[in-house]
A = this chain, B = another copy of it.
Amino acid sequence: MADFSIGGKLRVTLFGQSHGPAVGCVVEGYPRGRWIDWEKVNRFMARRAPGQNAWSTPRRETDAYELVSGLDENGRTCASPLTALIRNTNAHSGDYPDLRVLPRPGHADFSAYLKYGDAWDYRGGGHFSARLTAPLCFAGALALQYLEEKGIAVCAHVARIGDVWDETPDTADPRLPLYGPEDFPVMNQNRGEEMKKRIEAARQAGDSIDGAVRCLVTGLPGGLGGPCFGGVEGALAKALFGIPAVKGLQFGDTKPYGSENNDAYRAADGSIRTVTNHCGGILGGITNGMPLHFTVSFKPTPSIALPQQTVDTCAMKETVISVQGRHDPCVVPRAVPVVEAVTALILTDLIL
Protein backbone atom coordinates (compact mmCIF):
# COMPACT_ATOMS: atom_id res chain seq x y z
CA MET A 1 0.00 0.00 0.00
CA ALA A 2 1.30 3.35 -1.03
CA ASP A 3 1.13 4.92 2.44
CA PHE A 4 4.36 6.75 1.83
CA SER A 5 3.51 8.26 -1.55
CA ILE A 6 1.56 11.39 -2.40
CA GLY A 7 0.71 13.28 -5.56
CA GLY A 8 -0.05 12.54 -9.19
CA LYS A 9 2.01 14.37 -11.80
CA LEU A 10 4.50 15.27 -9.10
CA ARG A 11 4.76 12.19 -6.95
CA VAL A 12 6.82 11.92 -3.78
CA THR A 13 7.63 8.58 -2.15
CA LEU A 14 9.23 8.64 1.29
CA PHE A 15 11.24 5.78 2.73
CA GLY A 16 13.25 4.89 5.79
CA GLN A 17 12.95 4.49 9.52
CA SER A 18 14.26 6.53 12.39
CA HIS A 19 16.83 3.90 13.35
CA GLY A 20 17.53 2.25 9.99
CA PRO A 21 20.52 3.11 7.81
CA ALA A 22 18.83 6.08 6.12
CA VAL A 23 15.68 7.98 5.28
CA GLY A 24 15.01 9.56 1.92
CA CYS A 25 12.61 10.22 -0.91
CA VAL A 26 12.02 9.70 -4.61
CA VAL A 27 10.52 12.67 -6.47
CA GLU A 28 8.90 11.75 -9.81
CA GLY A 29 7.66 14.30 -12.33
CA TYR A 30 9.63 17.34 -11.21
CA PRO A 31 10.11 19.73 -14.16
CA ARG A 32 13.17 18.94 -16.25
CA GLY A 33 16.08 21.04 -17.38
CA ARG A 34 16.24 23.18 -14.27
CA TRP A 35 19.11 24.34 -12.12
CA ILE A 36 18.35 23.90 -8.44
CA ASP A 37 19.68 26.39 -5.89
CA TRP A 38 21.08 23.79 -3.51
CA GLU A 39 22.13 26.37 -0.97
CA LYS A 40 18.50 27.39 -0.68
CA VAL A 41 17.47 23.77 -0.28
CA ASN A 42 19.95 23.41 2.54
CA ARG A 43 18.74 26.53 4.31
CA PHE A 44 15.16 25.36 4.06
CA MET A 45 15.97 21.94 5.43
CA ALA A 46 17.95 23.51 8.29
CA ARG A 47 14.75 25.17 9.53
CA ARG A 48 13.34 21.72 10.23
CA ALA A 49 16.46 20.13 11.66
CA PRO A 50 16.32 19.38 15.36
CA GLY A 51 18.63 20.31 18.16
CA GLN A 52 19.29 23.88 17.23
CA ASN A 53 17.36 25.80 19.80
CA ALA A 54 15.46 25.67 23.03
CA TRP A 55 12.18 24.42 21.59
CA SER A 56 13.26 21.30 19.88
CA THR A 57 14.24 17.74 20.64
CA PRO A 58 17.76 17.19 22.00
CA ARG A 59 18.54 14.78 19.15
CA ARG A 60 21.03 16.78 17.08
CA GLU A 61 21.28 15.67 13.54
CA THR A 62 22.21 17.33 10.32
CA ASP A 63 19.89 16.53 7.46
CA ALA A 64 22.76 16.24 4.98
CA TYR A 65 21.50 14.46 1.91
CA GLU A 66 23.15 12.65 -0.95
CA LEU A 67 21.45 13.05 -4.32
CA VAL A 68 21.71 9.63 -5.95
CA SER A 69 19.68 10.29 -9.10
CA GLY A 70 17.91 12.97 -11.08
CA LEU A 71 20.58 15.28 -12.48
CA ASP A 72 22.09 15.20 -15.93
CA GLU A 73 25.80 15.49 -16.65
CA ASN A 74 25.60 19.26 -16.27
CA GLY A 75 23.76 19.19 -12.96
CA ARG A 76 20.32 20.14 -14.20
CA THR A 77 17.19 18.13 -13.38
CA CYS A 78 16.44 15.59 -16.05
CA ALA A 79 13.75 13.07 -16.87
CA SER A 80 14.80 10.71 -14.08
CA PRO A 81 13.30 10.82 -10.61
CA LEU A 82 15.22 12.84 -8.05
CA THR A 83 16.29 10.61 -5.18
CA ALA A 84 17.77 11.94 -1.94
CA LEU A 85 19.33 9.84 0.77
CA ILE A 86 19.79 11.11 4.33
CA ARG A 87 21.89 8.88 6.55
CA ASN A 88 20.84 8.32 10.14
CA THR A 89 23.81 9.21 12.29
CA ASN A 90 22.47 9.80 15.78
CA ALA A 91 20.16 6.91 16.48
CA HIS A 92 20.52 5.16 19.81
CA SER A 93 17.89 2.51 19.86
CA GLY A 94 18.96 1.58 23.36
CA ASP A 95 17.31 4.78 24.53
CA TYR A 96 13.85 3.36 24.01
CA PRO A 97 11.92 0.69 25.88
CA ASP A 98 10.01 -1.82 23.77
CA LEU A 99 7.06 0.29 22.72
CA ARG A 100 5.31 -2.79 21.40
CA VAL A 101 4.95 -4.01 24.97
CA LEU A 102 4.50 -0.69 26.75
CA PRO A 103 2.56 1.60 24.41
CA ARG A 104 3.02 5.29 25.18
CA PRO A 105 -0.28 7.16 25.54
CA GLY A 106 -0.93 9.46 22.59
CA HIS A 107 1.65 7.72 20.39
CA ALA A 108 1.03 5.34 17.51
CA ASP A 109 2.55 2.45 19.47
CA PHE A 110 -0.73 0.75 20.30
CA SER A 111 -2.54 1.31 17.01
CA ALA A 112 0.60 0.09 15.20
CA TYR A 113 0.56 -2.99 17.42
CA LEU A 114 -3.04 -3.64 16.38
CA LYS A 115 -2.16 -3.31 12.72
CA TYR A 116 1.29 -4.81 12.50
CA GLY A 117 1.60 -7.07 15.53
CA ASP A 118 5.34 -7.04 16.15
CA ALA A 119 6.24 -6.56 12.50
CA TRP A 120 7.22 -2.95 12.69
CA ASP A 121 10.41 -1.23 13.64
CA TYR A 122 9.42 0.49 16.87
CA ARG A 123 12.87 2.01 17.44
CA GLY A 124 12.56 5.80 17.57
CA GLY A 125 9.01 5.56 16.27
CA GLY A 126 10.21 3.73 13.17
CA HIS A 127 8.41 4.95 10.11
CA PHE A 128 6.08 7.09 12.25
CA SER A 129 9.09 9.15 13.25
CA ALA A 130 9.10 12.85 12.52
CA ARG A 131 12.47 12.04 10.97
CA LEU A 132 10.59 11.32 7.71
CA THR A 133 9.74 15.01 7.53
CA ALA A 134 13.39 15.60 6.59
CA PRO A 135 13.11 14.07 3.10
CA LEU A 136 9.63 15.60 2.87
CA CYS A 137 11.25 19.01 3.34
CA PHE A 138 13.84 18.14 0.71
CA ALA A 139 11.06 17.47 -1.80
CA GLY A 140 9.16 20.54 -0.65
CA ALA A 141 12.21 22.73 -1.10
CA LEU A 142 12.33 21.74 -4.76
CA ALA A 143 8.63 22.50 -5.16
CA LEU A 144 9.03 25.88 -3.44
CA GLN A 145 11.71 26.87 -5.96
CA TYR A 146 9.46 25.91 -8.83
CA LEU A 147 6.56 27.92 -7.43
CA GLU A 148 8.79 30.88 -6.68
CA GLU A 149 9.72 31.19 -10.35
CA LYS A 150 6.00 31.29 -11.13
CA GLY A 151 5.60 34.18 -8.68
CA ILE A 152 3.93 31.98 -6.08
CA ALA A 153 5.10 32.26 -2.48
CA VAL A 154 4.24 29.89 0.36
CA CYS A 155 4.74 31.27 3.85
CA ALA A 156 3.64 29.90 7.23
CA HIS A 157 3.90 31.14 10.78
CA VAL A 158 3.23 29.94 14.30
CA ALA A 159 -0.41 30.96 14.69
CA ARG A 160 -0.97 29.64 18.18
CA ILE A 161 0.78 27.99 21.12
CA GLY A 162 -1.64 26.83 23.80
CA ASP A 163 -3.94 29.81 24.33
CA VAL A 164 -1.62 32.46 22.87
CA TRP A 165 -2.54 33.51 19.36
CA ASP A 166 -0.35 35.41 16.93
CA GLU A 167 -1.84 38.33 15.02
CA THR A 168 -3.79 37.50 11.88
CA PRO A 169 -2.29 38.79 8.65
CA ASP A 170 -4.49 40.63 6.15
CA THR A 171 -5.47 37.65 4.04
CA ALA A 172 -6.93 39.82 1.28
CA ASP A 173 -3.53 41.45 0.74
CA PRO A 174 -1.82 39.94 -2.30
CA ARG A 175 1.59 40.45 -0.66
CA LEU A 176 2.88 38.00 1.88
CA PRO A 177 3.51 39.31 5.39
CA LEU A 178 7.16 39.36 6.41
CA TYR A 179 7.77 37.13 9.36
CA GLY A 180 10.55 37.35 11.92
CA PRO A 181 13.39 34.99 12.72
CA GLU A 182 12.97 31.94 10.63
CA ASP A 183 13.10 29.37 13.42
CA PHE A 184 10.05 30.82 15.14
CA PRO A 185 8.17 32.87 12.55
CA VAL A 186 5.40 35.09 13.93
CA MET A 187 3.63 38.29 12.91
CA ASN A 188 3.95 39.86 16.33
CA GLN A 189 7.23 39.38 18.17
CA ASN A 190 5.75 40.06 21.58
CA ARG A 191 3.24 37.31 21.16
CA GLY A 192 6.02 35.11 19.86
CA GLU A 193 7.94 35.68 23.11
CA GLU A 194 4.79 34.83 25.04
CA MET A 195 4.45 31.62 23.07
CA LYS A 196 8.04 30.63 23.79
CA LYS A 197 7.35 31.15 27.49
CA ARG A 198 4.45 28.74 27.28
CA ILE A 199 6.68 26.17 25.64
CA GLU A 200 9.39 26.64 28.25
CA ALA A 201 6.86 26.34 31.04
CA ALA A 202 5.56 23.10 29.56
CA ARG A 203 9.11 21.79 29.32
CA GLN A 204 9.89 22.57 32.93
CA ALA A 205 6.67 20.88 33.98
CA GLY A 206 7.72 17.76 32.05
CA ASP A 207 4.70 18.37 29.88
CA SER A 208 4.03 19.38 26.26
CA ILE A 209 1.75 21.95 24.62
CA ASP A 210 -0.34 22.15 21.48
CA GLY A 211 -0.61 24.87 18.83
CA ALA A 212 -1.36 25.76 15.25
CA VAL A 213 0.35 26.87 12.04
CA ARG A 214 -1.25 29.27 9.59
CA CYS A 215 -0.15 29.05 5.98
CA LEU A 216 -0.59 31.71 3.29
CA VAL A 217 0.01 31.35 -0.41
CA THR A 218 0.17 34.42 -2.63
CA GLY A 219 0.46 34.69 -6.39
CA LEU A 220 -1.59 31.57 -6.98
CA PRO A 221 -3.58 31.62 -10.22
CA GLY A 222 -7.36 31.24 -10.11
CA GLY A 223 -8.98 28.17 -11.58
CA LEU A 224 -6.85 25.53 -9.86
CA GLY A 225 -8.57 22.49 -8.42
CA GLY A 226 -12.00 21.19 -9.24
CA PRO A 227 -15.45 20.47 -7.92
CA CYS A 228 -16.48 17.68 -5.59
CA PHE A 229 -13.62 15.29 -4.71
CA GLY A 230 -11.26 17.18 -7.01
CA GLY A 231 -11.09 20.23 -4.78
CA VAL A 232 -7.98 22.01 -3.57
CA GLU A 233 -9.10 21.59 0.05
CA GLY A 234 -9.33 17.82 -0.26
CA ALA A 235 -5.95 17.51 -1.99
CA LEU A 236 -4.22 19.65 0.63
CA ALA A 237 -6.08 17.96 3.48
CA LYS A 238 -5.05 14.46 2.46
CA ALA A 239 -1.40 15.54 2.50
CA LEU A 240 -1.46 17.80 5.56
CA PHE A 241 -3.05 15.14 7.76
CA GLY A 242 -0.01 13.03 6.84
CA ILE A 243 2.19 15.33 8.96
CA PRO A 244 2.72 13.81 12.39
CA ALA A 245 0.50 15.30 15.16
CA VAL A 246 -1.88 17.20 12.83
CA LYS A 247 -5.47 16.82 14.07
CA GLY A 248 -7.36 19.79 12.59
CA LEU A 249 -7.55 21.93 9.47
CA GLN A 250 -9.56 25.04 8.72
CA PHE A 251 -9.64 26.79 5.34
CA GLY A 252 -10.17 30.51 5.54
CA ASP A 253 -11.83 32.01 8.61
CA THR A 254 -15.56 31.41 8.38
CA LYS A 255 -17.87 34.08 9.84
CA PRO A 256 -21.18 32.94 11.37
CA TYR A 257 -23.53 34.75 9.00
CA GLY A 258 -23.61 34.61 5.23
CA SER A 259 -23.89 38.37 4.99
CA GLU A 260 -20.49 38.77 6.65
CA ASN A 261 -18.85 35.55 5.44
CA ASN A 262 -19.53 36.01 1.72
CA ASP A 263 -16.60 37.87 0.22
CA ALA A 264 -17.94 40.75 -1.88
CA TYR A 265 -16.42 41.23 -5.33
CA ARG A 266 -14.82 44.44 -6.47
CA ALA A 267 -13.32 45.51 -9.74
CA ALA A 268 -9.77 46.71 -9.27
CA ASP A 269 -7.36 47.68 -12.02
CA GLY A 270 -9.09 45.57 -14.61
CA SER A 271 -9.23 42.48 -12.48
CA ILE A 272 -11.83 41.12 -10.10
CA ARG A 273 -10.89 40.59 -6.49
CA THR A 274 -12.74 40.12 -3.25
CA VAL A 275 -12.88 42.76 -0.52
CA THR A 276 -12.40 40.23 2.25
CA ASN A 277 -11.02 36.68 2.04
CA HIS A 278 -12.96 34.59 4.53
CA CYS A 279 -13.23 31.74 2.03
CA GLY A 280 -9.47 31.29 2.11
CA GLY A 281 -9.01 31.74 -1.63
CA ILE A 282 -11.08 28.67 -2.57
CA LEU A 283 -14.71 28.49 -3.66
CA GLY A 284 -16.32 25.28 -4.80
CA GLY A 285 -12.95 23.53 -4.57
CA ILE A 286 -11.37 25.96 -7.06
CA THR A 287 -8.98 28.82 -6.36
CA ASN A 288 -10.39 32.29 -7.00
CA GLY A 289 -7.14 34.19 -7.44
CA MET A 290 -7.02 35.52 -3.88
CA PRO A 291 -4.40 34.38 -1.38
CA LEU A 292 -4.94 30.84 -0.19
CA HIS A 293 -4.90 30.51 3.57
CA PHE A 294 -5.59 27.82 6.10
CA THR A 295 -4.75 26.86 9.65
CA VAL A 296 -3.38 23.48 10.71
CA SER A 297 -3.71 22.49 14.35
CA PHE A 298 -1.30 20.14 16.10
CA LYS A 299 -1.86 18.12 19.22
CA PRO A 300 0.69 18.41 22.05
CA THR A 301 3.67 16.09 21.62
CA PRO A 302 2.74 12.79 23.24
CA SER A 303 6.23 12.19 24.66
CA ILE A 304 6.22 13.76 28.13
CA ALA A 305 8.29 13.28 31.25
CA LEU A 306 5.24 13.24 33.49
CA PRO A 307 4.10 9.75 34.49
CA GLN A 308 1.21 8.34 32.49
CA GLN A 309 -0.90 5.25 32.85
CA THR A 310 -0.43 2.53 30.25
CA VAL A 311 -0.87 -1.22 29.97
CA ASP A 312 1.82 -3.87 29.67
CA THR A 313 0.38 -5.67 26.65
CA CYS A 314 2.12 -8.94 27.54
CA ALA A 315 1.11 -9.08 31.18
CA MET A 316 -2.16 -7.24 30.52
CA LYS A 317 -1.47 -5.18 33.63
CA GLU A 318 -1.74 -1.46 34.07
CA THR A 319 1.49 0.33 34.78
CA VAL A 320 3.05 3.78 34.58
CA ILE A 321 5.37 5.14 31.91
CA SER A 322 7.28 8.37 31.53
CA VAL A 323 9.49 9.35 28.63
CA GLN A 324 12.74 10.76 29.96
CA GLY A 325 15.57 12.54 28.28
CA ARG A 326 14.28 13.09 24.76
CA HIS A 327 11.44 15.31 25.63
CA ASP A 328 10.35 17.84 22.96
CA PRO A 329 7.68 20.05 24.52
CA CYS A 330 6.24 21.49 21.30
CA VAL A 331 6.38 20.30 17.72
CA VAL A 332 4.74 23.39 16.24
CA PRO A 333 7.71 25.69 15.46
CA ARG A 334 9.56 22.96 13.60
CA ALA A 335 6.36 22.01 11.79
CA VAL A 336 6.20 25.40 10.06
CA PRO A 337 8.56 24.44 7.20
CA VAL A 338 6.93 21.02 6.98
CA VAL A 339 3.53 22.65 6.36
CA GLU A 340 5.15 24.88 3.75
CA ALA A 341 6.80 21.87 2.10
CA VAL A 342 3.60 19.82 1.91
CA THR A 343 1.62 22.81 0.63
CA ALA A 344 4.20 23.50 -2.06
CA LEU A 345 4.21 19.88 -3.20
CA ILE A 346 0.43 19.70 -3.58
CA LEU A 347 0.15 23.07 -5.30
CA THR A 348 2.95 22.17 -7.72
CA ASP A 349 1.12 18.94 -8.48
CA LEU A 350 -2.04 20.94 -9.27
CA ILE A 351 -0.21 23.46 -11.43
CA LEU A 352 1.92 21.05 -13.50
> Could you tell me the distance in whole angstroms from the C-beta of A264 to the nearest C-beta in chain B?
4
Stretch of A146-154, A181-189, A295-303 on the interface side:
A295-303
- How many A residues touch the partner, as a band? 35 or more
> Could you tell me the distance in whole angstroms from the C-beta of A82 to the nearest C-beta in chain B?
8
Copies in the complex: 4
Q: Within the assembled complex, what's the spacing in Å between the Cα atoms of A252 and B210? A: 14
Task: Give A306-320 interface residues, CB cut-off 8 Å to B.
Answer: 306, 308-311, 313, 316-318
Q: Quick one: given A241-B234, A300-B257, are A11 and B2 in contact (CB under 8 Å)?
A: yes
Report B-chain residues with C-beta under 8 Å of the C-beta of A80: 15-17, 20, 120-121, 126-127
**A288 near B110 (CB under 8 angstroms)?**
yes
Task: Give A92-138 interface residues, CB cut-off 8 Å to B.
Answer: 93, 103-112, 114-121, 123, 126-128, 132
> Could you tell me the distance in whole angstroms from the C-beta of A157 to the nearest C-beta in chain B?
19
Report B-chain residues with C-beta under 8 Å of the C-beta of A49: none
Report B-chain residues with C-beta under 8 Å of the C-beta of A210: 254-257, 261
Interface membership of chain A positions 60-81, coded 1 if the CB is closer than 8 angstroms to chain B and 0 otherwise: 0000001111111100111111
**A78 near B265 (CB under 8 angstroms)?**
no
Q: Quick one: given A69-B16, A79-B126, are A226 and B1 in contact (CB under 8 Å)?
A: yes
**B9 near A28 (CB under 8 angstroms)?**
no
**B119 near A32 (CB under 8 angstroms)?**
yes
Q: Within the assembled complex, what's the spacing in Å between the Cα atoms of A229 and B246? A: 12
**B228 near A132 (CB under 8 angstroms)?**
yes
Task: Give A222-250 interface residues, CB cut-off 8 Å to B.
Answer: 222-231, 233-235, 237-242, 244, 246-250
**A250 near B308 (CB under 8 angstroms)?**
no
Q: Within the assembled complex, what's the spacing in Å between the Cα atoms of A126 and B272? A: 22
**A114 near B32 (CB under 8 angstroms)?**
no
**B69 near A272 (CB under 8 angstroms)?**
no
Q: Within the assembled complex, what's the spacing in Å between the Cα atoms of A223 and B109? A: 11
**B242 near A308 (CB under 8 angstroms)?**
no
> Could you tell me the distance in whole angstroms from the C-beta of A291 to the nearest C-beta in chain B?
14
Report B-chain residues with C-beta under 8 Å of the C-beta of A29: 1-2
Report B-chain residues with C-beta under 8 Å of the C-beta of A110: 265, 272, 283, 288
Report B-chain residues with C-beta under 8 Å of the C-beta of A304: 258-259, 262
**A318 near B265 (CB under 8 angstroms)?**
yes
**B26 near A69 (CB under 8 angstroms)?**
no
Instruction: Tell which of B1, B107, B316 touches A230, judged by Cβ atoms closer than 8 Å.
Output: B1
Instruction: Tell which of B28, B77, B127, B247 touches A252, judged by Cβ atoms closer than 8 Å.
Output: B247
Interface membership of chain A positions 1-28, coded 1 if the CB is closer than 8 angstroms to chain B and 0 otherwise: 1111110110101111101111110101
Q: Quick one: given A119-B72, A234-B239, A270-B316, are A251 and B262 in contact (CB under 8 Å)?
A: no
Q: Quick one: given A207-B259, A261-B300, are A248 and B247 in contact (CB under 8 Å)?
A: no
Report B-chain residues with C-beta under 8 Å of the C-beta of A248: 248-251, 254
> Could you tell me the distance in whole angstroms from the C-beta of A161 to the nearest C-beta in chain B?
9
Q: Chain B CB within 10 Å — which of A123, A222, A265 has the most?
A: A265
**15 sample A-B contacts, Cβ–Cβ < 8 Å, listed by A number:** A5-B11, A13-B81, A15-B26, A16-B80, A20-B68, A33-B118, A79-B116, A108-B283, A114-B221, A115-B286, A207-B259, A210-B261, A229-B239, A258-B304, A264-B309
